[in-house]
Amino acid sequence: MSTTSEVHADVEIDARGSFCPGPLMELIRGIKTLPVGGVIAVRSSDPGSAKDIPAWLQKAGHELIGAYPEADCTRFVARKLR
């Protein structure tokens, strides 16, 4: 099983402590400017992200590479597919 440090991302977003606009908005913002095939990571301390982020990625047609727990947050890594 891979650990978070082994999963490289082209763009890293630190959304720890973000309530408004929140980690998912930060992810959507980042993914829009990423080329197709690019990998993005967002760090979130919001427990709601565990549900929101995979749900949006599925709806928007992108790949969730993984969700990796860290000390004070979870690092979500996704690949832009279209």
Partner 1 sequence: MTRRIVIVGGGVGGTIVANLLARRLSPEEAEVTLIDSVGAHVYMPAWLYIPFSDEPVARNSFARPESSLLNRHVRLVIGEVTRVDPVNQELTVRRVAGNGEVATTTYPYDELALATGARLAPQDLTGMVESADAYHEFYSAEGAVALQEALREFQGGRIVVAVGGIPYRCPPAPLEFTFLLDEWLRRKHLRQRTEIEYLFPLPRVFPIEPVADVAAPLLEQRGVKTRLFFNADELDGEHHIIRSLEGEDVPFDLLVLIPPHRGARVVEASDLGDPQGWLATDRATLAVKKYPHIYAIGDATDLPVSKSGSAAHFEAKVLAARLVALTRGEEPDPKHAEYDGEVMCFLETGENQATQLVFNYNHPPQPPRPSLLYHMEKQLFNKAYWHIVPQGLV
By the criterion CB under 8 A, which residues form the site for partner 1?
A: 13-26, 28-29, 32-33, 48, 51-52, 55-56, 59-61
Q: Determine how many CB atoms are found less than 10 A away from the CB of residue 77.
A: 20
Nearest distance in Å: CB 33, partner 1: 4
Q: Is the Cβ of residue 2 or residue 48 nearer to partner 1 in the bound state?
A: 48
Q: Which three-class secondary structure string do you get for 43-57?
A: EECCCCHHHHHHHHH
Nearest distance in Å: CB 1, partner 1: 28
Q: How far apart are CA 74 and CA 67, in angstroms?
A: 6
Q: Is 20 a catalytic residue?
A: yes
Nearest distance in Å: CB 67, partner 1: 16
Residue with the two structure tokens 């860290």: 70
Residues taking part in catalysis:
20
